[in-house]
Amino acid sequence: MTFLKNISFFAIALMLCMMTFDSDVQAQKVNKKTSTKKSKKDKKKKGKEPAEPVEDPAWKTKVNDFGCLVYGEDSVKTLQSFSLYREDFKNDNFEGALPNWEFLYNNSPGFREQTFKDGEQMYKAWFEKETDETKKKEYFEKLMSLYDQRAICWGKSALTIGKKGLRYAEYYPDEKDKVFDYLSKSVENGGNDTDYPVIARYFKMIVDKFQAKEIPMEDLEESYAKIKEISDYNIENNEKKSAKYAKIMENLSGAYDKLTTKATVATRPDVNNCAQAKEYYGGKYKENPTDKTAIQNYYAAMIKFRCTDDSEFLAIAQKYNEMEPTASKTKFIAKSYMKNGDYANAETYFNKAIEMETSPSKKAGLKMNLANMYNYKMKQRSKARSAAKEAASLRPDWGDPWILIGNSYAAQASACGGFDGRAAIWVAMDNWSKAKRVDPSSADKAQSMINKYSGSTPDKKTLFQRGLSKGQSYTVSCIGVSTTVR
């Protein structure tokens, strides 16, 4: 009756329409009655062995599509807390809303995504009003944690990691490394779903890095090609935000053209595409094939106008790299070989680039280039996992290596066959789950794999027949890895 006194009849009716929780609540009430009856009987049956523990009611273990608890230990309190905090929140009584909001956040994170959206609004407001720097930092860290937990429990991880980057840029702009890392992950993981403010800020940082000579032209081109692909897709398919993406590309393409034009030393004629670049800069190179400036200009022009798939590019890149070797040019050469299906030479050049690279983050990226080639092109699963683990050690907060490792075990499952084939999926899930933990920005990609293979693991009947129970350790012999029975 306390629950009925605390909320209005209208709120009850609304929640009944929105939520299918009747069975959970009734189950809870029935369980309480049953427990009371059992306790009375137990008092009468002194000296007898205690009854076997009853499995938790369904609501206690119910999870959403991302594996987060919907109701937790008390479904009634979850419903009550949601109603009470929302009423305070709508009245801008954030302090009053906080206790009930915290209960949901800590105990029922899979109940409503709205919990995280409201939390973001509250902690941003508190941060902006606070004058004490220590307290401000606490609010900010909580906001960052909210973004991570939202990604883990509700997906949209590229969106939330992008929010982290933009918030850092807004509130702590001096934390440039963090801003760039978060925005880069948002672009990498978001693809065509990357929001336009993220793209704008990300490429501005790329331009700044290029002008400060922190990154080479190859990295500038690679980043520009990525955001152009995303923007072109949204200009064509995102009716609501098409104009926003178009405006961004108008500004960014102008900046890109100015920067790449400076990369060529010779007076630049009216060159606007790959064919014209080959004709002009290729002609200058052929007039003097040993001249470093002619080689450099031809190479730069082919990158600028994306002639990298052209048969002449590989030869020019190798020639320029012999004169002036760098990790970035060596990587470009490796990727060219890989596109052509020459995996032996690609492997050689990727390894050369790794030896030359000094940045741990970039070295990790090169290791992942190798891992992807081993796993998806060459089907060499063991080598793929080894390269991915090396990438993870160089960049511990990156989820992609663990996703690839999970994918490689899933790919081997069919070769294992039988029970171990299904059990190998547990091992894959261990790695996909780890990706979510170390890098919430990868939550969507990791969870999509978990959902895809969730029906491929051993069923309860098979586990019972083998004498296995949930939580028990099991070694999958065909891949030699131990996991936990689910």
The burial class, CB within 10 Å (0-12 / 13-18 / 19+), for 273 is exposed
- Give the model's confidence band at 4: pLDDT under 50 very low, under 70 low, under 90 confident, else very high: very low
Q: What is the mean pLDDT of residues 61-70?
A: 92
- Give the model's confidence band at 404: pLDDT under 50 very low, under 70 low, under 90 confident, else very high: very high
Chain mean pLDDT for the chain: 88
Looking at domain 325-395, its CATH superfamily turns out to be Tetratricopeptide repeat domain (1.25.40.10)
Say which residues have a Cβ less than 8 Å from residue 182's Cβ, sequence separation at least 6: 161, 162, 164, 165, 168, 441
Longest CA–CA span in the chain (Å) reads 105
Compute the residue count for the chain: 486
What beta strand segments (E) does 274-393 contain?
none
Question: pLDDT value at position 424?
Answer: 96
Whether the per-residue pLDDT at 52 is higher than 60: the answer is: no
Question: Residue 135: how many CB atoms within 10 A of its CB?
Answer: 12
Question: Residue 113: how many CB atoms within 10 A of its CB?
Answer: 15
Whether the per-residue pLDDT at 257 is higher than 90: the answer is: no
Question: pLDDT value at position 311?
Answer: 85
Q: What is the pLDDT of residues 185-217, one digit of tens each?
A: 999 999 999 999 999 999 999 999 999 999 988
Query: Rounded to whole angstroms, what are the CA distances from 94 to 119, 123, 127, 252?
Result: 9, 9, 13, 40
* Residue-by-residue DSSP string for 369-405: HHHHIIIIIS--HHHHHHHHHHHHHHSTT-SHHHHHH
Q: Where do the domains of the chain lie?
A: 1-30+57-154, 325-395, 397-486
Tokens linked to 2: 């306390």
CA dihedral over 33, 36, 37, 38, signed as positive or negative: positive
Query: Exposure string (b/e) for 2-12, b if CB count within 10 Å is 16 or more?
Result: eeeeebeeebe
- Give the model's confidence band at 272: pLDDT under 50 very low, under 70 low, under 90 confident, else very high: confident
Tokens linked to 418: 């039988």
Q: 481: helix, coil or strand?
A: strand
Question: pLDDT value at position 379?
Answer: 96
Q: What is the mean pLDDT of residues 169-186?
A: 95
Question: pLDDT value at position 267?
Answer: 65
- Give the model's confidence band at 265: pLDDT under 50 very low, under 70 low, under 90 confident, else very high: low
- Give the model's confidence band at 56: pLDDT under 50 very low, under 70 low, under 90 confident, else very high: low
Q: What is the pLDDT of residues 93-129, one digit of tens each?
A: 999 999 999 999 999 999 999 999 999 999 999 999 9
Q: What is the mean pLDDT of residues 12-39?
A: 45
* pTM recorded for the entire structure: 0.80
Checking DSSP bridges between strand 481-484 and strand 473-476, what pairing results, if any? antiparallel
Residue 484's DSSP bridge partners are 473
Q: What is the pLDDT of residues 295-313, one digit of tens each?
A: 999 999 998 888 888 889 9
Amino acid of residue 217:
M
Say which residues have a Cβ less than 8 Å from residue 302's Cβ, sequence separation at least 6: 274, 277, 278, 281, 308, 310, 312, 313, 316
